[in-house]
Structure formats: C-alpha cells, structure tokens
Amino acid sequence: MANASPVLVDPTKQYPGPPFDTPKQSAPGTVAKLDPPADHGESSYRGHGRLVGRKALVTGGDSGIGRAVAIAFAREGASVVITHLPAEQKDADEVVTLLGGEGATVRSIAGDLKDEAFCRSLVNDAYEALGGLDILVNVAGRQTHQESIENLSTAQFDETFKANVYGLFWLCKAALERMPAGSTIVNTASIQAYQPSDILLDYASTKAAIVAFTKSLAKQVAEKGIRVNAVAPGPVWTALQPSGGQPMEKVRDFGASVPMKRPGQPVECAPLYVLLASKESSFVTGEIYGVTGGNPLP
C-alpha cells in the first residue's frame, strides 16, 4: 500500500487494480477477508486539526468508507461514535482500539438502522457519550444484486429502503432536534444514483432518493445554520461488493471500467467527508460530491 509521504504519486498506480481474487463473503462482510486488504487510512491518513472539538456520529463506521471517515475525523481532532450491525463487532472493536490508542475519544454502538426506535436511541446515546452532537455522517448502506425484477422480492426492496433511506431519515430527524447552528450532515449517495446498473434496481433507487433528500433537507435547514451535503463514490474496495453487492465475476473486474482502471480505496473518500463536515466548507450546502476515478457526476 502506498502512503501519502512522497510529493508526487501517480493515482492510477497508487492502489491495486483488477483482476481481484478476493473470497466471497456473507453479508454484512468484514474487512478481514478482503484480499488485497483495503486502505482505510490506518497508517496513511494524517490529520491537520480541521475538526478539533467536533462531536460526530458516523454510521457504518466499522468498515469500508465509514471506517475511513471515523479514522480521518478522529485524526482531525473530532470525538466520534461509530455505529454498526451486531455481527460487525470485531471490525468495530478494531477501529475503537486503533483510535483509542491514539488518544481519541471513540465509542461504538451496535444496532439495526432499519429500526426507528434504535435510530432515536442511537442519537440520544451518541449525544450523551460525546457531550453534544454537531456532525452526522450517514455512511451505512446495504446492497444486494438481483439479475431481474422477477427475483427482487418485496422483502429485499423493503430492507434496502429501510436501511439506506428510512434509517438516514430517522437519524437526520433525531439529530436535527439537537444540533446547534454550525452543525453539518454528510450523506453517502453513489454514482448509482446517476448511472444505475441493471442488477441494482433497489439499491440505485435508494441512492437517487438520498440525492434528492440531501438537496431538499439542505434548503430546509440552511436558515438554521446547518449544512447538508453528500458524497457519491464510484467503485470503492470494500466488503460490500464480495458480500452480495456484486456477482463475483464483477468483483473480479471491479474498477476496470472507470478511467483510472482501478477501484478507489476508502481512505480516498475520507477527505471529502472531512471537507464537507468542517467549517472551511461554510458556503457549501445541498451539493453532491463525486469520488469516482473519472466518471463525473452529471
């Protein structure tokens, strides 16, 4: 894995490209089985004090993009609560141990975002643990490919919308009751909102919903001094894909179709979340920022 120290690095060669031979996993997947391992910034992300004193709740913070956000935020000086599914306790513990060992205040809370009562208690618990709440980062999401609408069950359609859209709605609603002016919300959309794959009918639809939700909520809360933006990644090397997000033959070629000819790494998404959460981006709201390796958003 490359690190950030050389002055110039060719981004096309900075991280591995396809073909990949990582094993298939069952959802929700773990970073431990990713081959090659993903870079979440554990040894490559350096903070610059941009979130000192901030109090952040990061969903999906055990693994993938959420783990990279938690690492970056803690190294930028924020106190962080991460949340994850109970099955992901081991991945979450690694994040808490790593960042706690660096002196950061980090806690993990397990639960299912498809449950409204959990979402409300999560915001309460994060508020108590952090002594306030001024950043909400919604990274958690589920993705299960289906070749045809005939095979897409109501149960799957419902679960994908519950986890990706309802959970985000419930968390935003509860967080906004407590957030002071200057607070920031950062959601996670996807290139799938704009260029949906045939096999991701439900998932792509949730990501399009998140784009509209972000733009609408941003207008609604601008006068309160709260900003709402989203990051829209292209292919990123995480457990989401080999745990049912894509068929394994597509995981093999993951990233081949973007101009950089490789998937992004979670750590390459983190700087956008830091920027959108920080007060430096004070005039930016209602925007969707791509991190796609060269497939620009429309």
**List of residues 6+ apart from 262 with CB closer than 8 A:** 12, 15, 16, 17, 18, 255, 293
Distances (CA, A) of 136 to 11, 165, 168, 246: 30, 15, 10, 28
Q: What are the angstrom distances between the C-alpha of 176 and each of 23, 170, 238?
A: 40, 10, 30
Q: Does 190 bind ligand NAD (CB under 6 A)?
A: yes
**Per rule CB under 6 A, is residue 145 in the interface with ligand NAD?**
no
194 catalytic? Reply is no
State the first-to-last Cα distance of the chain, in angstroms, to the nearest integer: 32
Told to check if 202 binds Mg ion by CB under 5 A, we report no
- Give the footprint of ligand NAD on residues 13-72 (CB under 6 A): 28-29, 60, 62-66
* Binding to ligand NAD, residues 250-269 (CB under 6 A): none
* Alpha-helical runs (H) found in 195-281: 201-221, 248-252, 266-277
Choose, by CB under 6 A, the member of 50, 84, 145, 227 that binds ligand NAD.
84
Asked if residue 268 binds Mg ion (CB under 5 A), the reply is no
Among the listed residues 233, 209, 182, 206, the one whose alpha carbon sits nearest the alpha carbon of residue 68: 233
Q: How far apart are CB 1 and ligand NAD at their closest, in Å?
A: 17
The DSSP secondary-structure symbol of 156 reads H
- Stretch of 46-54, 96-104, 174-182, 234-242 contacting ligand NAD, by CB under 6 A: 234-242
Q: Which of 14, 146, 160, 188 binds ligand NAD (CB under 6 A)?
A: 188
Residue nearest to ligand NAD (CB): 64
Q: Which stretch binds ligand NAD (CB under 6 A): 70-78, 106-114, 172-180, 275-283?
A: 106-114
Could you give the CA distance from residue 172 to residue 244 in angstroms, rounded to a whole number?
Answer: 28
> Which member of 45, 203, 273, 289 is catalytic?
203
88 forms part of the interface with Mg ion (CB under 5 A) = yes
Residue 49 backbone class (left: φ over 0; alpha: ψ -120 to 50; beta: rest): left
- The reply to whether 63 sits near Mg ion by the rule CB under 5 A is yes
The distance from CA 227 to its chain's CA centroid, rounded to whole angstroms, is 18
Between residues 38 and 181, which has the closer beta carbon with respect to ligand NAD? 38
Please, are residues 285 and 228 in contact by the beta-carbon 8 Å criterion? yes
Which residues are catalytic, by number? 203
Contacts with ligand NAD by CB under 6 A lie at: 28-29, 60, 62-66, 84-85, 88, 112-114, 139-143, 163, 188, 190, 233, 235-236, 238-241
Contacts with Mg ion by CB under 5 A lie at: 62-63, 88
